[in-house]
C-alpha cells in the first residue's frame, strides 16, 4: 500500500470539483466540436474499460479528459457535463452524486441511463504525435489524423527540439506508429 497513490486521486477529484464550479459559473458555454468528440470517445472508452474490468485505465482516461477540459477553458455545456458525471459515478460515487444534485438533478445520478456515444463523433480529426530520439521525448506534433508516414517523419525531423539531436548523425532506424509516435534511432 502506497499512500502517495491516494494523493493523485485526490488531485484528480479536486480538478473535477474545480471544473464543476467553472462550468456552473459560465453562461451557456458551447463545447468545441473537438471537445464534444473527446467526450464521446471518453464515454466509449469508459464503457469498454468498465466491461473489461480495466478500472485503472478508465480512471486514467477520465483524468486525461479533465486535463483537456481545463485546457479548453471548461467550455462544456451542462448536459455534456452531466454525461461526464454519469460515467464518473461508478468510480467516485459520492462526488458524482453531490455534483449531480448541485446541478438540480432530482433523482440519484446512479439511477440515470448510461450516456450514449455518437459513432459519428468518435473519429479524431487531429492527433498529437510524440517524437522521440533514441526513445527520449524530444517534441510533439499536432497533425491531421491519418497522416502519411513520409510527411509525418519529415515534419518530425524539422522540429526545433529534434534537429540538433539528428544533425550530423546517421538515423539507423525510424519507428513510425500512425497517429501516435515517431522514434528516430541513431547510431
Q: Considering the domain 4-121, what is its CATH architecture? A: Orthogonal Bundle (1.10)
d(CA 95, CA 78): 16
By the 8 A CB rule, do 37 and 125 touch? yes
By the 8 A CB rule, do 88 and 39 touch? no
pLDDT for 127: 82
Topology alike, domains 4-121 and 126-186: no
pLDDT for 83: 96
pLDDT for 5: 77
Mean pLDDT by 10 residues, the chain (187 residues): 82 96 82 82 95 94 93 87 97 98 93 92 80 94 89 94 93 92 93
Q: Domain residues of the chain, as ranges?
A: 4-121, 126-186
pLDDT for 1: 64
pLDDT for 113: 96
- Give the cell for residue 44: 466509449
CATH number 2.60.40.10 given to 126-186 = no
* E strand segments, 40-96: none
Sheet containing 136-144: give its strands across: 136-144, 126-133, 181-186, 171-177
pLDDT for 10: 94
pLDDT for 183: 96
pLDDT for 105: 87
pLDDT for 29: 64
pLDDT for 161: 93
Amino acid at each position: 500500500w502506497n499512500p502517495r497513490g491516494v494523493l493523485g486521486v485526490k488531485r484528480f477529484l479536486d480538478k473535477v470539483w474545480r471544473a464543476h464550479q467553472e462550468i456552473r459559473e459560465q453562461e451557456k458555454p458551447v463545447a468545441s466540436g473537438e471537445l464534444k468528440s473527446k467526450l464521446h470517445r471518453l464515454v466509449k472508452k469508459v464503457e469498454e474499460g468498465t466491461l473489461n474490468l480495466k478500472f485503472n485505465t478508465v480512471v486514467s482516461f477520465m483524468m486525461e479528459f479533465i486535463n483537456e477540459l481545463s485546457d479548453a477553458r471548461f467550455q462544456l455545456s451542462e448536459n455534456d457535463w452531466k454525461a461526464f458525471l454519469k460515467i464518473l459515478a461508478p468510480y467516485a460515487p459520492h462526488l458524482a452524486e453531490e455534483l449531480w444534485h448541485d446541478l438540480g438533478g432530482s433523482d440519484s445520478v446512479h439511477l440515470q441511463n448510461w450516456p450514449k456515444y455518437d459513432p459519428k463523433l468518435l473519429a479524431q480529426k487531429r492527433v498529437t504525435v510524440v517524437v522521440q530520439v533514441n526513445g527520449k521525448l524530444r517534441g510533439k506534433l499536432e497533425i491531421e489524423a491519418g497522416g502519411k508516414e513520409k510527411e509525418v517523419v519529415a515534419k518530425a525531423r524539422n522540429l526545433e527540439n529534434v534537429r540538433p539531436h539528428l544533425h550530423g548523425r546517421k538515423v539507423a532506424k525510424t519507428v513510425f506508429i500512425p497517429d501516435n509516435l515517431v522514434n528516430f534511432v541513431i547510431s
